[in-house]
Amino acid sequence: MTHKGALVPSTANQLTIAAQAREVYWNLGRSELVEWSVREGEGELSADGALVARTGEFTGRSPKDKYTVRDALTEDKIDWGAVNQPLDPESYDRLEALMLDGAKDERLFVQDLAAGADDKLQIKVRVVTQYAWHNLFAQNMFLRPSPEDRADVQPDWTVIDLPSVEADPALHGTNAKTFIVVNFTKRTVLIGGTQYAGEIKKSIFGVLNFLLPETGDLPMHCSANVGPAGDVALFFGLSGTGKTTLSADPERALIGDDEHGWGPDGVFNFEGGCYAKAINLTAKAEPQIYAASNRFGALLENVVLDEADRSPDYTDVSLTENTRSSYPIDFIPGHVKTGRGGNPRAVIMLTADAYGVLPPLAKLSVDQAMYHFLSGYTAKVAGTERGMGREPQATFSTCFGAPFMPRHPSEYAALLRDKVESSGAECWLVNTGWTGGQFGTGSRIPLAATRAMISAILSGGFKDIAFIQDPYFGLMVPEACPSVPADLLSPSSTWAKLSDYEATANTLATRFAENFVQFAKHVPASVVESGIRPRG
């Protein structure tokens, strides 16, 4: 067991977080971190050996408490606003001092990790946590260098995660006691006042989203897999749209389930693990994810255990609907060990349409792909963010990841266009939402049907099938799809009353058009013309 009494600050940021810490445990292995977590009452073991932890008050991200330091480096590059909230350097310095004070007499855990499987674009990340289980989360989610590579490492970025440290809004310039602050000049992330571990990985995702466009590379909130012939597929989509489920295909190798970059040599994973939604998880529907979640080394967040035998009850949402499973990607059989693939053949944009009017499948032109990438329409699933209600809410989240995009959305959209045009990738819109009526009336599109559509896309199954233009949304929809009922492909035919469908479709089209006004002056006119507009 490696034990040190104080951390040595990196040359990158000079933040000495544990000078007064009682003890520091450095780069502990999986077993030791689990032992610490159980011994300190941070979590308990399931019947199959997974560590089960609770995140307290925050069972999801806290987007209103995320900030970026506004200084000379970021002033003209960040798209400031409700998503990218500014914090002045002086307030940051006071928060940093608060964190230093909060580290006094604490036991801290440190992991030296990395983000980005492309060596040329990778950043080294040091994660310092108050909880052992947060350190296990970081070890699961980031790339794990060899012991040799960890020797005398100088991190590019340092993440400090101390849930017990709470801000004073009047003194620190925050909205509440909780804070997630990114400082690009000091290359540090400070996290306090929340036990939700997902803030650790999402903060570094945001860092890469800022850095990669500088070199003409595209950061993406998407999953990725590759077939036996080397055909890479990307799956864009917000939480709950199915990107983790659909990319975990036994017939294809998983590159990653959430965050990737598209560089000059193709696609690469940012992470070394998966962070899957665990609600209603079953071995039948999602065998790979289920097996990975029910073994030693997996970390289950807010999953309730059966009192009698400690087996996870994935249907229990008494704590939150945003139950999660974190595990190393090597828990998935046949994963791509390098975390890299070539240029994608298919770019699939997933949405969960709560209105039940979008086609389940449509092929997109490059202009339409840019339009839907900027729109990022879906229905948020209850529990994925603090303050969500019990029902899904229709939303537009640009680039299918607005909370993590520091730059103006048009920068990412222009990069997507360049990548798609240079690679010749085909673009698709797949709706995993409702059919036969809107949420509360209709039903969720069967997972088996969605899988069949994805299979047809990846196998070239539409080569000899004609496409017709949907009269309500202007999308090109196939007349047929193997193993999918024909009426399912035409949403209007699944509703009891056509007039109800038309009214609802027009309502959604109006929302699309109103939302896209903000992007119209930043994109070519052809993108605007390719978009969705209400009829009449």
* Catalytic residue ranges: 61, 202, 221, 239, 243-244, 258, 324
Cα 223 → chain centroid: 9
Q: Distance between CA 361 and CA 477 in Å, rounded?
A: 6
CB 42 within 8 A of CB 137: no
Element at 506 (helix H, strand E): helix 498-516
Cα–Cα separations (whole angstroms), residue 285 to 189, 291, 379, 426: 37, 11, 22, 28
Count of CA atoms in the C-beta half-sphere (13 A) of 198: 28
Count of CA atoms in the C-beta half-sphere (13 A) of 485: 10
Count of CA atoms in the C-beta half-sphere (13 A) of 319: 24
Tokens of 60: 């999801």
Beta partners for 18?
none
DSSP E strand stretches across 368-420:
377-380, 393-396
Q: Which of 171, 170, 186, 207 is nearest to 66 (CA)?
A: 207
CB 133 within 8 A of CB 43: yes
Residues 6+ apart with CB under 8 A from 254: 223, 224, 225, 247, 248, 288, 329, 332, 334, 335, 336
Element at 43 (helix H, strand E): strand 43-45
Q: Dihedral through CA 58, CA 59, CA 60, CA 66, nearest 10? A: 10
Exposure string (b/e) for 456-473, b if CB count within 10 Å is 16 or more? bbbeebbeeeeeeebebb
